[in-house]
């Protein structure tokens, strides 16, 4: 990929041993609009990420939902960036896409808002991990770090910066990350900005695992409410967010969800499909 003839991959079959970001483990992936998404369980994902930390490796992690897949469909550079990430499935849209393309949904819904706290609580090495937070509005990361610390006192949480910094401050942030090298860096800029920033700036010098977490810090801090548990259980959290912020979310859900399904069907019926700026 990366030239004028770049195409979105056809879903010929479930790929065995496909690579989703760097790492030795054999994995099954589903290709969703040009992005390889690891068909993982939460347990297998936690084990792999803890192995990365223990071995001193570096891993970039992202979560793909229908909105992110639509962005990737229309942005060849974003698709290229995600090839260097381990990508996990987020939401009912990805499950529906996988069912239509491969006949089976992803094993689990690994949205970042639920999976990242599970990662903190399920790491079994017994070692105290250092988790750094970067992004969101001023004060939000601090409130989220306090909440994470209350729920997971076995780890250390620190705030690097909010998401409003200039180029000089960015250089300072990167130097601080080099000096501290947290085990996990949470980057909350929203996608695709957070993945673009991680791809451009984060290496093994800065953190073992760099993960784009979207609105996780907003939800954890309480600055943005989550849907009631019943709506989450019935996979209707998107509807709650639409009702909460209709002006900001209507295009993502009312327009974006049907567009995602249309593109999935096009991938299913016609095989390799060119993105608009491939």
pLDDT of residue 23 exceeding 60: no
Q: What whole-number percentage of the chain has pLDDT above 70?
A: 88
Mean local confidence (pLDDT), 43-64: 96
What pLDDT is recorded for position 274? 58
> Could you give phi then psi for residue 165, rounded to 5 degrees?
-140, 155
Pairing of strands 59-64, 209-212: parallel
Separation of alpha carbons 258 and 84, rounded Å: 28
Q: Compute the mean pLDDT over every residue in the chain, rounded to the nearest whole number.
A: 88
What pTM value is reported for the model? Answer: 0.87
Round to whole Å and give the CA distance between 162 and 274.
37
- Residue 122's contacts (CB-CB under 8 Å, 6 or more residues apart) are 42, 43, 46
pLDDT of residue 21: 44
| Per-residue pLDDT band at 192 (split at 50, 70, 90) | very high
What pLDDT score was predicted for residue 195? 98
**Residue 226 to residue 111: CA distance in whole angstroms:** 13
Task: Report how far apart the first and last C-alpha atoms of the chain are (Å, whole number).
Answer: 8
**pLDDT for residue 244:** 85
What pLDDT, on the 0 to 100 scale, is given for residue 145? Answer: 98
- The predicted pLDDT at position 3 comes to 40
> What's the pLDDT tens digit per position in 252-269?
889 999 999 999 999 999
pLDDT at 42: 96
Per the DSSP assignment, residues forming a β-bridge with 31 are 36
- What CA–CA distance (Å, rounded) separates 137 from 83? 29
In this predicted structure, what is the pLDDT of residue 247? 86
Give the pLDDT confidence of 59-97 residue by residue, as tens digits.
Answer: 999 999 999 999 999 999 999 999 999 999 999 999 999
- According to the model, what pLDDT value does residue 24 have? 36
**Residues contacting residue 64 through CB under 8 Å, at least 6 positions apart:** 32, 35, 37, 72, 82, 87, 88, 89, 90, 94
Residue pLDDT, tens place only, 139-188? 999 999 999 999 999 999 999 999 999 999 999 999 999 999 999 999 99
Bridge-based pairing of strands 59-64 and 86-89 is parallel
Tens digit of each residue's pLDDT (9 = 90 or more) over 194-214: 999 999 999 999 999 999 999
Pairing relation of β-strands 184-188 and 130-135?
A: parallel
Q: Which of 23-27, 52-56, 123-127, 261-265 has the lowest mean pLDDT?
A: 23-27
Question: Which strand ranges, in their side-by-side order, compose the sheet holding 28-32?
Answer: 15-16, 28-32, 35-38, 86-89, 59-64, 209-212, 184-188, 130-135, 156-161
Burial class (CB within 10 angstroms; exposed 0-12, middle 13-18, buried 19+) of 201: middle
């Amino acid at each position: 990929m990366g030239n004028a003839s770049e195409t979105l991959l056809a879903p010929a079959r479930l790929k065995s041993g496909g690579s989703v970001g760097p790492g030795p483990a054999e994995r099954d992936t589903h290709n969703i609009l040009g992005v390889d998404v690891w068909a993982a369980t939460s347990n297998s994902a936690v084990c792999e990420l803890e192995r990365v930390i223990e071995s001193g490796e570096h891993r970039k992690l992202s979560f793909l939902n229908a909105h992110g897949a639509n962005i990737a469909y229309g942005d060849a550079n974003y698709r290229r960036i995600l090839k260097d990430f381990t990508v996990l499935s987020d939401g009912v849209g990805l499950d529906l896409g996988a069912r239509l393309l491969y006949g089976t949904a992803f094993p689990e819904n690994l949205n970042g808002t639920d999976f990242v706290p599970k990662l903190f609580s399920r790491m079994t090495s017994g070692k105290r991990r250092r988790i750094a937070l970067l992004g969101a509005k001023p004060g939000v990361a601090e409130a989220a770090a306090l909440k994470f610390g209350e729920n997971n006192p076995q780890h250390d949480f620190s705030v690097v910066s909010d998401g409003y910094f200039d180029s000089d401050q960015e250089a300072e942030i990167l130097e601080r990350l080099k000096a501290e090298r947290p085990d996990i860096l949470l980057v909350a800029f929203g996608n695709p900005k957070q993945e673009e920033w991680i791809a451009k700036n984060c290496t093994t010098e800065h953190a073992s695992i760099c993960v784009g977490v979207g609105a996780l810090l907003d939800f954890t801090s309480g600055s943005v409410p989550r849907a009631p548990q019943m709506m989450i259980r019935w996979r209707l959290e998107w509807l709650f967010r639409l009702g909460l912020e209709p002006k900001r979310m209507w295009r993502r859900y009312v327009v974006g969800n049907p567009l995602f399904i249309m593109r999935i069907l096009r991938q299913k019926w016609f095989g390799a499909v060119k993105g608009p700026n491939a």
